[in-house]
Amino acid sequence: MAYLTGLTKGGATWTPTFVEAIDEEKCIGCGRCFKSCARKVLGPLDLEDEESESIRMVMTIVAGDNCIGCAGCGVGCPKKCFSFKPMEV
């Protein structure tokens, strides 16, 4: 199986890993990932909990096609919500 690769500024090969999913059960809505993504891939969503009649914010993927596979959003996530995947070619 082959994956899409790119080059660093220094000419080294690297394999981008694109955002695949965010675990909304684990997400605490801190917004760190939102601030770290320069590609505007992520966006907040208000989730309604019918049982407790409360609303909590979670992060979602709103423009996945804009992702460049840097995985930067996952680095600062305190709850390890992100999963990433390289692109098969």
Quick one: which of 39, 45, 60, 86 contacts ligand SF4 (CB under 6 A)?
A: 39
Dihedral, 31, 32, 37, 42 alpha carbons, nearest 10: -30
Query: By CB under 6 A, is residue 29 in contact with ligand SF4?
Result: yes
Q: How many residues does the chain have?
A: 89
- The window from 3-11, 45-53, 76-84 that contacts ligand SF4 (CB under 6 A) reads 76-84
Cβ proximity of 42 and 62 under 8 Å? yes
Query: By CB under 6 A, is residue 32 in contact with ligand SF4?
Result: yes
Compute CA distances 28 → 6, 38, 40, 83, 87, whole Å.
Answer: 33, 21, 19, 16, 28
Query: By CB under 6 A, is residue 71 in contact with ligand SF4?
Result: yes
Q: Enumerate binding residues for ligand SF4 (CB under 6 A).
A: 19, 22, 27-33, 36-37, 39, 41-42, 59, 67-73, 77-79, 81
